[in-house]
Amino acid sequence: MFRRHLPRPLPGASDFVNLIDIGNYFYFPEASPIRTQVAIIGGGPSGLLLSQLLHLAGIDSVVLERKSRDYVLSRIRAGVLEQGSVGLLEKAQVAKRLHAEGQIHTGTYLAAQNRGFRIDFDALIGAQVTVYGQTEVTRDLYDARAAMSGQIFHNVDGVELHDLDTGKPFLTYHLDGSAQRLDCDFIAGCDGFHGVSRKSIPAGILKEFERVFPFGWLGVLSKTPPVSDELIYANNARGFALCSMRSKTLSRYYIQVPQDDPLEKWSDQAFWDELKRRIPEDAAERLVIGPSIEKSIAPLRSFVAEPMRWGALFLVGDAAHIVPPTGAKGLNLAFSDVHYLHTALIAHYDGQSAALDAYSQTALARVWKAVRFSWWMTGKMHRFPDQTPFDQRIQEAELTYLENSVAAQRMLAENYVGLPY
Ligand code: RFL
Ligand code: PHB
């Protein structure tokens, strides 16, 4: 039958078949397996970055993505990049637009009721973060992969993982309605929280740790100038609020809402009215409102799966762990996994397998620190339905301590800008 792919041998690797050329149809027998070194499930930010870094190191990969490119790029998610993430994107040769358009933030504001104070990352620890949307990071990665003839298949259905513990793993899937097989040395499970990879680890091996928070975040993206030059995390008796941004003309705001609040309940006007009630008065007076261009509710949870390796399968990013967005750790954590995995794979193909064997342990050590920080910051900034007056006073005392203690501020700063790899 006719397929959209051109099988062609990689230079110097005649046993690999490279599937590219999305624009034209070429004859390709349905049953012929293709082969790569690293099969990557999921074309979100972690899968794309891994594929790009491996390519630059001369390691072949194929990315299988369930959705279309446009769909992946329509998801509005993270906005804050740690220094380590920026360094990785530089290494991946995809940081040009990030440096031109991203905003350097040397601090952030915390507000408790109507009182605000600033955590000065630069003065405290000589560090900063970059505000640049996950959508833009993903677009830059797609462009770079396309420029290097990267192999990314979209709209792939029914991916299944096989023979993970035999040394000859492979994937099966459907593309354009026909069955396909991909043989590989390793599989990177970069398929997010709802993907198939984690579920392929036997139940007796996999341990899951979870804390579901009893609220969600209602997020709005609007073409309005941001209310503040830096982010404002606001603790308020009515619930948490966050003022963030994507650029000088694009704002991103969030408010804490009950876990099961229907989105229809929140007209744009209702959202703006509630946001204004929760942020400090001077910010509420400055706030420019406009129609939402995206509005969604995200649940909040902490989740970690252990181990992050099973045989030939390596879990990366949201496939292995979820953090609540307070503290902006999710994407950054996915990228630190990519850091550990791509360096370990490079070492493996150079004959050194110790780092690959240690991947799960190494990645999890950093994961748990970020899980702790996001859990801590979520606990400090939100109203819990069962919060007692005692809990309330403790929360207030924590925020006052943070306002007045350089040691406490350093703890927040070093975690927020990202712990070292
Ligand atoms: P993704 O982005 O979920 O990508 C996984 C990809 O895998 C595909 N997929 C499959 N493909 C093939 N076969 C299957 N069976 C598949 N199943 C799934 C999916 O279609 C998808 O394209 O995971 P990845 O790459 O690990 O990236 C993780 C980040 O997306 C995530 O951690 C962040 O967005 C979290 N996050 C934030 N992180 C930050 O670092 N800073 C932030 O400021 C920040 N803000 C946020 C956030 C997440 C949010 N939501 C919506 C949960 C704000 C919000 C509101
Ligand atoms: C965002 O801009 O989407 C954002 C920023 C900081 C967070 C979470 C989300 O902690």
Quickly state the pLDDT bin for 76 (edges 50, 70, 90): confident
The alpha carbon of 233 and the centre of ligand 2 are apart by a number of angstroms equal to: 9
How far away, in angstroms, is 60 Cα from ligand 2 center?
34
Alpha-carbon distances, residue 131 vs 22, 108, 128, 191, 275 (angstroms): 33, 12, 10, 24, 21
Strand partners, 162: 170
Ligand 2 geometric centre to CA of 98 (Å): 17
Which ligand is in closest contact with the Cα of 217?
A: 1
* Residue 131 CA, closest ligand 2 atom number: 2
Residue of 110, 218, 242 to mutate, ligand 2, most atoms within 8 A of C-beta:
242
- The reported pLDDT for the residue numbered 50 is 98
What b/e readout covers 150-178, taking b as 16+ CB neighbours within 10 angstroms? bbbbbebeebebeebeeeebbbebebeee
Q: What percent of the chain has pLDDT over 90?
A: 89
pTM: 0.92
Mean pLDDT across 131-149: 95
Section 387-400 average pLDDT: 94
pLDDT score recorded for residue 5: 31
Closest of 258, 232, 198, 419 to residue 326, by C-alpha: 232
Give the per-residue pLDDT at 261. 95
Query: pLDDT by residue (tens digit) across 197-246?
Result: 999 999 999 999 999 999 999 999 999 999 999 999 999 999 999 999 99
- The whole-number pLDDT of residue 39 equals 98
What is the Cα–Cα distance from 387 to 384, expressed in whole angstroms? Answer: 5
CA–CA separation, 409 and 107 (whole Å): 11
Map residue 364 onto helix, strand or coil: helix
% the chain with pLDDT above 70: 93
Instruction: Give the pLDDT confidence score for residue 74 in this predicted structure.
Output: 85
| pLDDT digits 0-9 by tens, 267-322 | 999 999 999 999 999 999 999 999 999 999 999 999 999 999 999 999 999 999 99
Kindly state the tokens that stand for 81.
Answer: 């990049």
Of the CA atoms within 13 Å of residue 59, those in its CB half-sphere come to 24
Q: 153, 68 in Cβ contact below 8 A?
A: no
pLDDT digits (tens, 9 = 90+) for 183-200: 999 999 999 999 999 999
Pairing between strand 309-310 and 170-175?
Answer: unpaired
304-331 per-residue burial string, b: 16 or more CB within 10 A, e: under 16: bbbbbbbbbbbbbbbbbbbbbbbbbbbb
Q: How far is the C-alpha of 76 from the C-alpha of 66, rounded, in Å?
A: 18
Would you say 109 and 74 are in contact if contact means Cβ atoms under 8 Å apart? no
Which tens digit of pLDDT belongs to each residue from 8-53? Answer: 333 333 333 333 333 333 334 354 789 999 999 999 999 999 999 9
**Which token pair is 152?**
């990314």
The model's confidence at residue 394, banded by pLDDT at 50, 70 and 90, is very high
Query: Quick one: the chain helix, strand, coil %, rounded to 5?
Result: 35, 30, 35
